[in-house]
Structure 1
Amino acid sequence: MLGIHDFWLFFVSALLLNITPGPDTAYVVARSLQTGWRGGVAATFGISTGCLVHVFGGALGLSALLAASAMAFTVVKWLGAAYLVYIGITMLLSRPSAAKEDSRAERAPASFGAVFWQGALTDVLNPKVALFFLAFLPQFVMADSPHKALAFIALGVTFVFNGVIWLLGVSIVTARTAGRIRQAQRAVQWVNRAIGGCFVYFGVRIAMLQAR
């Protein structure tokens, strides 16, 4: 449908990315600690709104790219596979930083509206988010699909929807177990390493599929 291939691989890798303890999760955790689950929910929808801006913007950019050159689309997919490997290696070598994000957010009390817009603008103004979607989503769109932009949007909306479900769960659990959150830094580091290894695998596998 819409020229999407290997949807199971997309779903698994997207799920792994969504559950990775990164800046978005840290922001939701911090707001949940600060203002309860309602603050976490506001942060979740703010972040998701920012991601959707990049998804639709990426689809428009992809359409323009395809109008210019089909070869350019193939180059983007190769660069995207390399970027996934880079993400994986970065995660393998990363150290936990959630505590810093938590402390910054806790020092800046805000209304639920401000929490929403801060989350949205943080993602909208982050070029790494746009780069990730442009690198990741085209990997699962067939080169001969007549609906590449629609496939890009469908994958992006699926990714964001899964992220919303995950972050809502994080906000509720965080609000109920606030006292234990700061004791999980070592576990976070090992989760990052495990998921980083998965992304290296996904990037290599996608590159091999393209080479056939």
Structure 2
Amino acid sequence: MVSGSAVLGVALVALTLVLTPGPNMVYLLSRSITQGRRAGLISLAGVGTGFLVYLLAAAAGLAAVFVAVPAAYTALKILGAAYLLYLAWQAIRPRPAGIRKSLGGELPVDRPARLFLMGLVTNLLNPKIAILYVSILPQFIDTERGSVAAQSLVLGATQVAIALTVNAAIVLFAGALHGMLAARPRWVDIQRYMMGTVLGGLAVWLLADRSRPLAA
């Protein structure tokens, strides 16, 4: 079965990735600060479902498609960049009565189903996670230790557990700021413009990044 060193290695990689700012972290921070802890946790559930999709795909060998068909990985990056630009526009687009009404409930907020879906899509289009499951995770699998699918599930579950734990802490922290910022609309306006800038910057980074999955 999976060796302890392999689990430790994946755990360290997962911790490094989740602590590195990327689409998931930025989205969860933004959602938790602007709409509260509950919205952040619902979004995190969507992110977690995205992890499970990648995990099952890796166990089934479907993730190797990115290696066999590089254009699929390029398409993923383009879709991810387009979605980040969409999120950036949603953050900074003009609002008729300002952000205070949105936080106070006078303007509609995103429903749970939309929050979940946005978290799911953000993660599925996250190239960091694609690279993890396509290029990095296979390096810790030893074919002499039994089923490759079973090893993929164990190692992937390790990554998911760490990612969800750290992201949950981020959501809880950011959600605690929601009430404070809601009473200071000027700071909320600054925050959403900064978030839009960060999301747009991430989109440009994705498009400029020339990395590609490597065969295991």
Task: Mark yes or no: TM-score above 0.5.
Answer: yes
Q: Are residues 1:104 and 2:101 paired?
A: no
Structure 1 residues 53-72: aligned runs within 5 Å: 53-61=53-61
Contact 2:23 2:122 in 1 (8 A): no
RMSD over aligned Cα atoms = 3.6
Contact 1:34 1:106 in 2 (8 A): no
When residues 106 and 24 of structure 1 are mapped into structure 2, their CA distance, relative to the original with a 3 A threshold, is farther
When residues 149 and 110 of structure 1 are mapped into structure 2, their CA distance, relative to the original with a 3 A threshold, is same
CA deviation vs aligned residue, 1:94-129 (integer Å, no higher than 9, x gap): xxxx9x956735769411221011111233355663
CA deviation vs aligned residue, 1:147-175 (integer Å, no higher than 9, x gap): 11111111111111111111111111112
CA deviation vs aligned residue, 1:69-102 (integer Å, no higher than 9, x gap): xxxxxxx8xxxxxxxxxxxxxxxxxxxxx9x956
Structure 1 residues 72-111: aligned runs within 5 Å: 104-105=90-91, 109-111=109-111
Contact 1:34 1:109 in 2 (8 A): no
Structure 1 residues 1-212: aligned runs within 5 Å: 1-2=1-2, 5-61=5-61, 104-105=90-91, 109-125=109-125, 129-178=129-178, 179=181, 182=191
CA deviation vs aligned residue, 1:19-40 (integer Å, no higher than 9, x gap): 1111001110111022100011
Shift of 1:136: 1.4
Task: Give the unaligned 5+ runs of structure 1.
Answer: 66-75, 77-97, 189-209
Contact 1:46 1:120 in 2 (8 A): yes
When residues 101 and 166 of structure 1 are mapped into structure 2, their CA distance, relative to the original with a 3 A threshold, is farther
When residues 167 and 133 of structure 1 are mapped into structure 2, their CA distance, relative to the original with a 3 A threshold, is same
Contact 1:29 1:102 in 2 (8 A): no
Shift of 1:134: 1.5
Tell me the distance in 2 between the aligned counterparts of 1:9 and 1:3.
Answer: 10
Tell me the distance in 2 between the aligned counterparts of 1:129 and 1:14.
Answer: 10
Contact 2:28 2:40 in 1 (8 A): yes
Contact 2:60 2:149 in 1 (8 A): yes
TM-score by length of 1: 0.60
Contact 2:18 2:166 in 1 (8 A): yes
Q: Name the % identity.
A: 29
TM-score by length of 2: 0.59
Tell me the distance in 1 between the aligned counterparts of 2:124 and 2:142.
Answer: 27
